[in-house]
């Protein structure tokens, strides 16, 4: 079966490559499902931890910070949980995705499966966890009687996960290739992600990053516009603003182009780096 499939390479067009990836969609889904089962294996709550963990952490942080700095503790818990859901998906897609090709070495060296099948493994797993966490956020808001106001803006809520996936997927492709070429890169990436966390409104109030001296961060740090879009219909009962939407779309386009160029540049030679 595999012997008749063409491989990754600089001469392959994007549509033909994606069609080959589509042939292996069931393998990709099974790999993502395997990751989910492994993540929550032997736990009584199982996948429910995808809801309980960010919710519990957000409540804990809100209680501590609420006592230290004052303010509405429960509103802050909702704010923190919304930030953690996006951040965890983004950061895990980068860190875990960096090892996606290395971990699939056995498959890659023995079969002709497109690399993208393995590179999308982490983003697909995180996508499911994000959806579950998103449901948990609405449960928390319902318990606190702070659900968003009904309106057309809520139609954007189911759109956002796909927008988020569209950004982290090409990013995961790029870092997975870089991870095979530069093995020390993961440690540097962890440091960079730590800095990104503290320069993002995950737990930090958004107004601190609205200062004109740090306003450029909204363009160079994709987490900021992502959180702006995610929170707009849920926390602020508003439609998306044009600027963060354009910034996110720009990131998606740029990362997609880079992913294609890098994939074509390395081709199947990446096998020798595994």
Instruction: Give the residue, 253 or 263, on which the prediction is more confident.
Output: 253
- Cβ within 8 Å of residue 22, ≥6 positions away: none
pLDDT classification of 10: cutoffs 50, 70, 90: very low
> What is the mean pLDDT of the segment spanning 2-6?
37
> What is the mean pLDDT of the segment spanning 252-270?
87
Phi/psi of residue 175, each to 5°? -70, -30
Share of residues in the chain with pLDDT > 70 (%)? 92
pLDDT in tens, 53-95: 889 989 998 888 877 766 677 889 999 999 999 999 999 999 9
**Closest by Cα among 270, 164, 247, 264 to 172:** 164
- Cβ within 8 Å of residue 113, ≥6 positions away: 2, 24, 27, 107
pLDDT classification of 3: cutoffs 50, 70, 90: very low
pLDDT in tens, 108-142: 778 778 888 889 999 999 999 999 999 999 999 99
Domain range summary for the chain, segments of one domain joined by +: 9-273
Radius of gyration (Cα) for the chain, nearest Å? 20
If one counts every other C-beta atom within 10 angstroms of the C-beta of residue 138, the result is 14
pTM higher than 0.95 for the full model?
no
**71 torsion bin: left (phi>0), alpha (psi -120 to 50), beta (else):** left
Residues comprising the chain, all counted: 274
C-alpha–C-alpha distance, residues 35 and 16, integer Å: 28
Highest mean pLDDT (candidates 6-15, 21-30, 55-64, 88-97): 88-97
> What is the mean pLDDT of the segment spanning 199-218?
88
């Amino acid at each position: 079966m595999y012997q008749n499939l063409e491989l990754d390479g600089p001469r392959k067009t994007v549509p033909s490559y994606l069609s080959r990836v589509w042939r292996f969609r069931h393998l990709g889904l099974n790999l993502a499902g395997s990751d989910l089962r492994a993540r929550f294996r032997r736990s009584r709550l199982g996948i429910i931890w995808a809801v309980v963990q960010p919710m519990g952490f957000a409540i804990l942080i809100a209680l501590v910070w609420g006592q230290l700095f004052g303010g509405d503790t429960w509103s802050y818990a909702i704010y923190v949980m919304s930030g953690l859901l996006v951040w965890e998906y983004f950061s895990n897609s980068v860190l875990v995705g960096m090892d996606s090709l290395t971990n699939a070495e056995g498959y890659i060296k023995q079969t002709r499966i497109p690399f993208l099948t393995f590179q999308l493994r982490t983003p697909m797993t995180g996508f499911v966890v994000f959806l579950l966490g998103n449901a948990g956020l609405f449960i928390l808001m319902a318990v606190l009687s702070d659900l968003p106001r009904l309106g057309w803006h809520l139609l954007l809520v189911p759109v956002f996960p796909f927008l988020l996936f569209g950004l982290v997927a090409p990013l995961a492709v790029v870092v997975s290739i870089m991870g095979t070429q530069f093995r020390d890169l993961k440690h540097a990436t962890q440091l960079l992600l730590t800095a990104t966390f503290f320069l993002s409104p995950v737990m930090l109030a958004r107004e601190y990053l609205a200062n004109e001296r740090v306003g450029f961060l909204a363009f160079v740090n994709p987490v900021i516009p992502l959180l702006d879009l995610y929170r707009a219909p849920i926390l602020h009962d508003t439609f998306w603003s044009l600027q963060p939407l354009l910034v996110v779309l720009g990131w998606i386009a740029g990362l997609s182009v880079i992913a294609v160029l890098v994939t074509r540049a390395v081709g199947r030679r990446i096998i020798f780096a595994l």
